Structure formats: C-alpha cells, structure tokens
Amino acid sequence: MSTANSQSTAHLEEASKGAGKVRVRIAPSPTGHLHVGTARTALYNYLYAKRHNGTFVLRLEDTDEVRSRDEFTHDIIDGLKWLGLSWDEGPDIGGPYPPYKQTEKVDHYEHFADKLIRDGRAYLCYATAEELALLKEDQKETGQAPRYDNRGRDLTDAARTKYEAEGRIPSVRFIVDEPRMVSWQDSIKGEISIDTSDLGGDMVIIKSTGTAIYNFAVVIDDIDMKMTHVIRGEDHIHNTAKQLLIYEALAINPPVFAHAPLIFDLERQKLSKRKHGETVHIDYYRKMGYMPEAIVNYLAQMSWTHPEGKEIYTLDEVAPLFDLDKVSKSPAVFDVARLNWFNGHYIRSLALSLITERAKPFLSQAGFNLSAYEGEQIEQIVGSVREGLTTLSELPDAVRFFFAEKPELSEEVKTTVLAGEKPAQVLKTLKDKLADMPWGDAPALKKAVDAMGKELALKGKDLYWPIRAALSGKTQGPDLGVTLAILGRERVLVRLESALSHC
C-alpha cells in the first residue's frame, strides 16, 4: 500500500507543463440513477482525455453506504456505456471493483488519516450525534449558519480518557484554519477564492464507523490514481476548497480543477429529482427512445461552442476540438424541445438498420408480432415513418396499423372519408386491380394508383384518402406506395374488403 510520503507528483508537474499524460475521471456516487449532469461531466472528462490523448477513469464513490446501491452502480455503468462514454480504467458491471470503489479501501484512507493526526493536522473528535444535534439546534435558534464549533480540537488527556471510558467511538476531524482564503486558478471559471470560515469548521474525514468521508476519500483516490485534472460540476466548488486544504496538509500538489456550470431548467432552477422526477435521469431518455448520439451531442453543445459554429457532431468529430477554455462560465439550460430537435435529426439520419435494431424492443413491448413480417420488412416499416418521429416511443402508434389485423376505422373516417359512392368506387377498382399490381415495388405501386385515378378521373384527396383510410385507418401517414408494398397483396385485400363494408 502506498503512503503519503511515497506519493510522486511528477505526473502533476508534467501535466502542468502540458507534457505528461492527462488522467481524468468521472466519479459518480451510486446513490441514484445516472443524472443528466453527471453524464455531461463524464462527457467533458471523456472529451478532454481524448483531446489530450489521456486516460479516462471511472470510479465509484460509495462512501455513503446507506444510500449506495448495486442497482445504481449498474445503472451508471450501463448508462455511460450506452452514451458511448467508454472508460480506459475502472470497473465493469460485476467488478472487479478495487481500487475503483471507495468502500474497498477503508484501511488505506485510515492510513492517511493517521498520518494527518501524527502531523497535528487532524484529531480524534468524541462529540456524539446528540451533542452535534444540540449544537445545530442552538445555532438555528440564534440565527447562525450550522457549523462545528471545533470543540474537540484541544481536548485534555483527562477528557479523552473520560470519553473513551464512556465507550464513545471517535471520528477523525481535519483542522480547517480560519479565517484564510483558499484560491485556485480554475480552468473553466478562472480565479476562485473561498473563505475557509464558510467551510463549516473542522471537518470529519473518517466517521466513527471507520468510513472515510467523500472529501477525504476523493483526495486520496485522486492522488492514488494520479489524476492530473478534476473536471466536475460547479456544485463542488466548496468541496474543492476543502480538498485543497487536505492536499496542502499532505504536502502533495493538487491536480488542476475545472468546474463546469450547473444545468438549469427553463425556469432557471437546478435540474433536480424533486422537481423534475425521472426526467433528470439518462435512463429515462433511454426508455423513451432517445438516441445516445443525440444526447451526447446535445450535452456537448450545451455549454461549449464548436469553433466553426457547428451544431451536429459525433463524439469522434468533436474530441480533437474540445477544450476547457471554451466551456461557458454561465449556467447551461436544459430544454427538452431542443433535445428533441437533435433526436429527430439522429432518428432521420442514422443508418436505418441501426434505428431498426433500436426500434424493435419498442415494437415488441407494444405487443406487435414482429414475425408477421419477413426479411427487411420491419426496416421498411420503421423507414416509412421515421421522418416524422421525435423519439422511438412514438413509433408504435405510428406503425400500429401495419401489425393490426385490420386498422381501426373511426366513426369520423367512416362518415367523412369512406361514405358515398366515390370512395366505394376507388376501393372497388383497386381491389379488382390487385392481381396485376407491381407488388414489392413501392414507386411502381404508387404509379399504378395514380394511373387508376386517371381512369376514374379522381386525384388528390378523392383518390388517396379512401385508400389510406382503408389501409391504415388514417388519412395521413407514410407514402402510399411504401404502405402498399409493405402490407402486400393479401393484407391489402383484407383491408379493402373491410373498408368496403362501411362504404
């Protein structure tokens, strides 16, 4: 096991000269599903690593043992993979986790905490949960901000012996000198200064249960894993100040910090589970049939501007161009209408075979019998409607009529589109011509319908609507020739006969 003294910071010195290998990480806590904000942070780290030919690490920060769950670990790993943000080091589903999981490193953190105690930078604190709750209560009553009052800093030996005899189990607290300013040059935000008086007093680094606190474990991990840059959300700025104090006490050079702006909703409020429910989770977008390409593209351009002003790009295209100095300092806005615009673009432009593979689970879930169609017909079905889709969850409704025995004919369709002589004449003529139609050739089928219209001296609505209604139950939908080609002669016949019974 490494010790604080043996840590080399050569990687940091090299990185600061732009010479060494960049090492960055995404360090989610498995206390919830993969959040949109975490995905954006992961994306920035991924792009930064790619841009600098560096290493992107995934680490699971599970120091919150009560809220951490395997289910969330899996969701995070799955979600990052789905987005295409593959890591160079770190766990996969099912492990092996060490050293990329904090609860597996308890002894290691204790070792560093012991060193800080020996160096007079930390101490054992015997305050009980009840005492701390009382302190908080008092502070609340007197209108003070909650903070630890550093009461355990200078315990006498007698007091310590008394607490030990009472069976109190101590936590380890790190001494936060105050007042003083902690400053750093942030790669996104520029110069940042935090007053240590705002950090809540001496901070627990090891709980009485023996578990390390996030702000401590993260420093040790970033040292162990030789991180050169820490790119994370702006909500961590106060944590950064605390972490810089720990680096200083360990006499280890810190990595470069970069804090990305928060993501707000259209009402300028933080994206939160409480307000926005499942829509803050990547999994939600996956289930709703969003394209991962659209999500990463949308997240990338949310706070970063392409040098040529491009809006649509892939991860590979953008990686050589991405840098932190071009990330905006002001909050990003999550606008689902804009995400939908990106998604529609990708549904229309990605390979049809890929969209079809992604579409199949949505069709199966809707209860459609996919084996009713052969060969590439499912692809044709998806292709026939993809222009009009925003997400794949809209697909089943758009193609339901292909899978139904017969389309549902609404009263409105029956009375306005199918009623009267003309529609009956169109459908009957078409039925009589079925044997001679060029089946399998969509453009030729459309031409055949038009030729039939000429014979009947009908065109436009008068010609197409009854046929569309008979085939799909609707007057709008995919190209008529494509619809006929996909349905094929037998299905078309059944549908025409059924519609004719309503004419």
Q: Least separation, in Å, of the C-beta of 204 and ligand GLU?
A: 17
Told to judge if 273 belongs to the known catalytic residues of this protein, a careful annotator would answer yes
Q: Least separation, in Å, of the C-beta of 194 and ligand GLU?
A: 16
Q: Least separation, in Å, of the C-beta of 232 and ligand GLU?
A: 4
Decide: is 29 part of the binding site for ligand GLU (CB under 6 A). Answer: yes
HSE, side-chain direction, 13 A CA sphere, residue 344: 11
Q: Which stretch binds ligand GLU (CB under 6 A): 21-29, 121-129, 171-179, 385-393?
A: 21-29
Residue entry with tokens 């169109």: 426
HSE, side-chain direction, 13 A CA sphere, residue 219: 27
Strand pairing report for 256-260 and 229-233: parallel
Q: Least separation, in Å, of the C-beta of 81 and ligand GLU?
A: 18
When the beta carbons of 218 and 355 are compared against ligand GLU, the nearer one is 218
Q: Which stretch binds ligand GLU (CB under 6 A): 25-33, 357-365, 427-435, 452-460?
A: 25-33
Q: Least separation, in Å, of the C-beta of 18 and ligand GLU?
A: 23
Decide: is 68 part of the binding site for ligand GLU (CB under 6 A). Answer: no
Q: Give CA–CA dist 255/230, Å, rounded.
A: 7
Partners of 123 in beta bridges:
173
When the beta carbons of 52 and 229 are compared against ligand GLU, the nearer one is 229
The answer to whether the peptide bond before residue 99 is cis (omega within 30 degrees of 0) is: yes
Q: Give CA–CA dist 449/452, Å, rounded.
A: 5
Q: Which stretch binds ligand GLU (CB under 6 A): 22-30, 107-115, 202-210, 370-378?
A: 22-30
Dump the DSSP string for 68-120: --HHHHHHHHHHHHHHT---SBS--TT---TTSBGGGGHHHHHHHHHHHHHTT
Decide: is 218 part of the binding site for ligand GLU (CB under 6 A). Answer: yes
When the beta carbons of 29 and 384 are compared against ligand GLU, the nearer one is 29
Given a contact cutoff of 8 angstroms between Cβ atoms, the answer to whether 184 and 244 are in contact is yes
Decide: is 15 part of the binding site for ligand GLU (CB under 6 A). Answer: no
Largest distance between two CA atoms of the chain: 109
Secondary structure of 270-338 in HEC code, one letter for each residue: ECCHHHHHHHHEHHHHHHCCCCHHHHHHHHHHHCECCCCCCCCCCHHHHHHHCCHHHECCCCEECCHHH
Decide: is 186 part of the binding site for ligand GLU (CB under 6 A). Answer: no
Q: How many CB atoms lie within 10 A of CB 100?
A: 22
Reading the block at residue 501, the tokens are 């019974």
Catalytic residue among 273, 275, 310, 454: 273
Q: Give CA–CA dist 360/470, Å, rounded.
A: 26
When the beta carbons of 173 and 236 are compared against ligand GLU, the nearer one is 236
When the beta carbons of 44 and 123 are compared against ligand GLU, the nearer one is 44
Residues 273-302 that bind ligand GLU (CB under 6 A): none
Q: Tell which one of 15, 24, 27, 448 touches ligand GLU (CB under 6 A).
A: 27
Reading the block at residue 227, the tokens are 């991180």
Decide: is 236 part of the binding site for ligand GLU (CB under 6 A). Answer: yes
Partners of 230 in beta bridges:
257
Encode 158-191: b = buried (16+ Cβ within 10 Å), e = exposed: eebeebeeeebebbbbbbbeeeeebebebbbbee
Which residue number places its CB atom closest to ligand GLU? 61
When the beta carbons of 26 and 449 are compared against ligand GLU, the nearer one is 26
Which residues fall within 8 angstroms of residue 96, CB to CB, at 6 or more apart? none
Three-class secondary structure of residue 203 per DSSP: strand
Decide: is 473 part of the binding site for ligand GLU (CB under 6 A). Answer: no
Which one-letter DSSP state was computed for residue 230?
A: E
Decide: is 232 part of the binding site for ligand GLU (CB under 6 A). Answer: yes
When the beta carbons of 232 and 242 are compared against ligand GLU, the nearer one is 232
Decide: is 61 part of the binding site for ligand GLU (CB under 6 A). Answer: yes
Q: Least separation, in Å, of the C-beta of 280 and ligand GLU?
A: 14
User: Residue length, the chain?
Assistant: 503
Q: Least separation, in Å, of the C-beta of 335 and ligand GLU?
A: 24
Decide: is 204 part of the binding site for ligand GLU (CB under 6 A). Answer: no
Q: What is the CA radius of gyration of the chain?
A: 32
When the beta carbons of 303 and 356 are compared against ligand GLU, the nearer one is 303
Q: Least separation, in Å, of the C-beta of 27 and ligand GLU?
A: 4
Q: Tell which one of 15, 28, 255, 446 touches ligand GLU (CB under 6 A).
A: 28
Binding residues for ligand GLU, total number by CB under 6 A: 7
When the beta carbons of 44 and 163 are compared against ligand GLU, the nearer one is 44
Q: Least separation, in Å, of the C-beta of 277 and ligand GLU?
A: 20
Q: Give CA–CA dist 222/64, Å, rounded.
A: 18
| Residues with catalytic function | 273
Contact residues toward ligand GLU (CB under 6 A) are 27-29, 61, 218, 232, 236
